[in-house]
Structure 1
Amino acid sequence: MSFEFGVAVAVIVVFALLGLPIGHAMIGASILYLLISGMDMSIAAEQLLRGLYGSYILLAIPLFIFAADLMNIGSLSDRLLIFCRALVGRFRGGLGHVNVVSSLIFSGMSGSAIADAVGMGRIIINLMLKDGKYPAAYAGALTAASAIIGPIIPPSIPMVLYALISDTSIGYLFLGGVAPGLILGILLMIANAIMARRYNFPVEEAVPVRELPKATLNAIPALLMPVILLVGIYGGVTTPTEAAALAALYAFVVSIVLYRSISPRQAFEAFRQSAKSTASVGILIAGALAFNYVVTIENVPSAIRSVLEGYNLDAVMFLLVVNVILLVLGCLLEGNAILLVIVPIFIPTAMALGIDPVHFGVVVVVNIMIGLATPPYGLLLFVVSNITKSPVASTIKFLLPFLAIMIAGLAIVTYAPDVVLWLPRMYGYNG
């Protein structure tokens, strides 16, 4: 590792500590590396422009973001909430169960943990806090934990990014995330049921069974979104990017034409918010593309591979090491930055050890999503604390049991690859 590379890494750390967005920090560090190495600094611009404009797959990201924003603004999320409440709200800690189930369903539309927490999560938190039914910190902790499921079940923006760096099929990655997402949802509901009894949380008034068909009927247009996505992709009708465009169009038509729940001003606001979110993700991707060029020049992946090979790690130990490293980094760094900068270093070694790329991708995404809710930096902690107006420390207290059970779920996904691969294999995957 050269002096120039050490300087670049130090610059990223300093800039990040000063509060500069990590994407900007990586771009600045890459340019500085090229400068002190005597190379043409325009290479940084060439790398990021080629990566951004030469990758058709990246178009899926703004389209999924736009679909999620329309869901949040319109009445689709409200109809889904009514359906979930009728389905599981009758049990002790019922609104907690509603929180998890709504995340499972809403995840089939947004692909973003933050979108889930800010949209559907905000609505459920308000219900949980009404009349003091649940502590604010508990409502926030469960919302942060359940929002993690969003990018694991398709569609998934992090899986789109993993496909970009690993040249893995998005369709098979999406299928691979279904079972792990459901497992995490079930584990969270078990934990919520245990904590509901421990803290004597209330039992909600049961919605009569006869009203369930009506709630289901009202929610069908929203529930069809993931069906359209999956049928389009796995039926060979659309590419994943085209499916994202179809999802955005479907959300737009249903919200404006069918439900008439979005005004022109709200539609414009959805476009504006989507543009802002896309720009934020785009800058991060641009920074990662520029810095990954530096990492490649320095031959960092090969160096790390040689170090790991020196320890004679088998696939089991390698996955354990990767999980520990990613969990620790998840406490400190932004998830997409880890995915775009750190994960590519591990991919060659994973392939050399015979680890399936779809399985490895799902393990990585689950791990990084847990990092979104892991103290001290986890972004979801600050999002839900802002919604609940509860101190982050109080939220963390209730979050720790959920984190523990999600790490147990991560262990299942890591060491039982068939959990991930059985569904892709049903659709022709040969891994």
Structure 2
Amino acid sequence: MTVLLFLVFLILLILGFPIAFALGISAFTYLIFSDIPLMVIPQKMYAGIDVFVLLSIPGFILAGNLMNASGITQRIINFCNALLGHIRGGLGLANVGASMLFGGISGTAIADTASIGSVMIPAMKKEGYDAPFSCAVTASSSTIGPVIPPSLPMIIAATLTGLSVGKLFVAGIVPGLLLGLGFMLTTYLIAVKKKYPKSNKQPLRVIFKSFIQAFWAIMMTFVILFGIIGGVFTPTEASIVAVIYAVAIGLWVYRELKLKMIPAILLQSAKTTAALMVLVGFANLFAWIMTVEELPLLIANSLLELTENKWILLLLINLLLIFIGAFMETIAALLILFPVLLGVAMQVGVDPVQFAIIMVFNLVIGLTTPPVGVCLFVASSIGQVSIEKIARAGFPFLLVSLGVLMLLTYIPEISLWLPGLFYD
């Protein structure tokens, strides 16, 4: 029956079904042929979404949409361009810098690619950057979003295992900064080699003015993060604070958010949340079937039979996740595999917080790798460039991501140092 479950799932993926429906239909097929009452479908789906911390997801999605409608993207880009534009390849550097700042608000890579890409990709092409590179740097840098807090995948990881959301948020700061700086260095080296343009150095007053314009947007990340770390509010309460903050900034500070725009923003946020919750529900049902079939135990034993050496085991898990991330959506893979692989990692002495960061980092790499790299598809649509050309141009950025992943894997302090300062 396990073979039937995965066979149906793979066939539906090949046929192009959305991942949520592929999970649901394959689980339904399994239940039909297993004579298990279909009543378990709503029971297990509801159990998957009936978790308090998941209430923070619609809040953060809504806050990100509100801030984006408030002109935040353009302000962040203006600030980064004023600060970095005079360096060779400055517009590319500004692209990465904007992703680092915007990622601390949206928490998702796709939102980053769409929002920043719609501004930066045409601007870079106009300035003389070739289109594949413009799309590649946008898609690659957007993967910083799910690593720097707030991060929706980290909220999911915490929900699955009972880990502290605050700890995971803090643990993602240094890896996110490392990834961003690595992308900046790569962008600069490519820009020097290809002689990409640079703009005139801006006077301090222009840089300061652009910073002031972006200040309230940047502060949103600090309000969320330090509110959670300081115990002022829970992640769910933080998401509501973020929504109130976004409305206030959009209406009365930036004044680009209009009351008549809010219903459409609410509807879009509700659609995104609903799609995500359906995915969480079906993935929980799928994971329950795997548990019934004792697949987690089989996977754990198989990995431990290969080796009990912590470092080799982590390498094998990384290879597995990179492969899976290329074919499966991040949150779906996280829901199905994280509890299983966490148990294996903890048996050989890996810290659960470190492993959560490794897992999230691994899977977001898949957002920029064919054939299912959704950020590649978004960038391709904006830049009117083929996926193959973007993937080829993005190869140096992929190497940077893999390099940072190895550092996270074999130097635990990178992800554990900050949580140790704030929580131990």
| Counterpart selection for 1:106 from 102, 109, 131 | 102
Q: Which amino acid aligns with 1:395?
A: I
- Paired residues of 1:103 and 1:150 also in contact (CA < 8 A): yes
With the length of structure 2 as denominator, give the TM-score of the two structures: 0.97
Task: State the 1:368 CA deviation.
Answer: 0.7
Equivalent residue for 1:81? Answer: 77
In structure 2, what is the Cα distance between the partners aligned to 1:137 and 1:277? Answer: 29
Q: Which residue of 1 aligns with 2:54?
A: 58
Q: In the alignment, which of 145, 149, 154 is matched to residue 150 of structure 1?
A: 145
Q: Deviations over 1:387-406 (max 9, x none)?
A: 10111111112101110111
How far apart, CA to CA, are the structure 2 residues paired with 1:180 and 1:208?
32
Give the aligned length: 424
2:219 pairs with 1:232: no
Aligned to 1:199: 194
Separation of aligned partners in 2, 1:356 and 1:323? 16
Q: Which amino acid is 1:210 matched to?
A: R
- For 2:73 and 2:307, the matched residues in 1 are separated by 50
Give the secondary structure class of the aligned counterpart of 1:337.
helix
Q: C-alpha separation between the residues in 1 aligned to 2:288 and 2:93?
A: 45
Counterpart of 1:6 in structure 2: which amino acid?
A: V
1:10 aligns with 2:38: no
Distance of 2:417 and 2:326 partners within structure 1: 31
Following TM superposition, by how much is the alpha carbon of 1:31 offset from its aligned partner in structure 2, in angstroms? 2.1
Q: Which moved more, 1:296-305 or 1:207-216?
A: 207-216
* Match among 105, 119, 126 for residue 130 of structure 1: 126
For 2:373, the equivalent position in structure 1 comes to: 378
Q: Tell me whether 1:343 sits opposite 2:311 in the alignment.
A: no
**Unmatched 5+ stretches in structure 2:** none
Output the CA distance in 2 between the equivalents of 1:375 and 1:13.
Answer: 17
Q: Deviations over 1:227-280 (max 9, x none)?
A: 101121011110011111111221121112222202234222211211121122
Match of 2:311 in 1: 316
Distance in 2 of aligned mates of 1:376 and 1:401: 18
User: What CA distance in whole angstroms lies between the structure 1 residues aligned with 2:125 and 2:59?
Assistant: 33
8 Å contact kept, 2:380–2:386? yes
How does 1:22-37 map onto structure 2 within 5 Å?
22-37=19-34
* Aligned-pair identity (%): 36
8 Å contact from structure 1 (residues 153, 174) kept in 2: yes
Residues 146-172 of structure 1, C-alpha deviations (whole Å, 9 max, x = no match): 000001000000001111112111100
Q: What SS does structure 1 have at the residue aligned with 2:201?
A: coil
- Look up the SS of the partner of 2:168 in the other structure: helix
Aligned to 1:46: 43
How many Å separate the matches in 2 of 1:210 and 1:43?
Answer: 63
Corresponding residue to 2:412 among 395, 417, 431: 417
Q: What is the DSSP-based 3-state SS (H/G/I as helix, E as strand, rest coil) of the residue aligned with 2:224?
A: helix
Q: Which moved more, 1:365-374 or 1:254-263?
A: 254-263
Letter in 2 for 1:332: F
Which consecutive residues of structure 1, in runs of 5 or more, have no partner in the other structure? none
1:278 maps to 2:273: yes
> d(CA) in 1 for partners of 2:289 and 2:231?
38
SS of the counterpart of 1:372?
Answer: helix
Give runs of aligned pairs for residues 254-273 of structure 1, distance below 5 A. Answer: 254-273=249-268
Q: CA offsets, 1:85-119, max 9 Å, x none?
A: 11111100001110111111111111000111111
Partner AA of 2:313 in structure 1: F
Is structure 2 residue 67 aligned with structure 1 residue 68? no
2-side partners of 1:309 and 1:144: how far apart?
A: 36
The answer to whether the Cα contact below 8 Å between 1:375 and 1:396 also exists between their aligned partners in 2 is yes
Separation in structure 2 between the aligned mates of residue 15 and residue 170 of structure 1, nearest angstrom: 33
> Which of 401, 410, 423 is the aligned partner of 1:406?
401
- Mapped contact 1:301–1:348 kept (Cα < 8 A): no
Whole-angstrom CA distance in 2 between matches of 1:103 and 1:315: 34
Contact kept, 8 Å, 2:307 with 2:313, in 1: the verdict is: no
Letter in 2 for 1:103: S
- Give the C-alpha shift of residue 84 in structure 1: 1.0
Contact persistence 1:285–1:340 (CA under 8 A): yes
C-alpha separation between the residues in 2 aligned to 1:14 and 1:252?
44
Superposed CA offset, 1:380-419 (max 9, x none): 1101000101111111121011101111111111111101
Instruction: Tell me the amino acid that sits aligned with residue 11 of structure 1.
Output: V
**Aligned pair partner of 1:188 in 179, 183, 189:** 183
Structure-1 separation of matches of 2:352 and 2:161: 8
Give the Cα separation in 2 of the matches to 1:369 and 1:418. Answer: 21
1:105 and 1:208 mapped to 2: Cα distance? 22
Deviation of the 1:136 alpha carbon: 1.3
Shift in Å, 1:186: 0.7
Q: Distance in 1 between the 2:303 and 2:10 partners? A: 24
Could you tell which deviates more after superposition, 303-312 or 410-419? 303-312
Equivalence for 1:171: 166
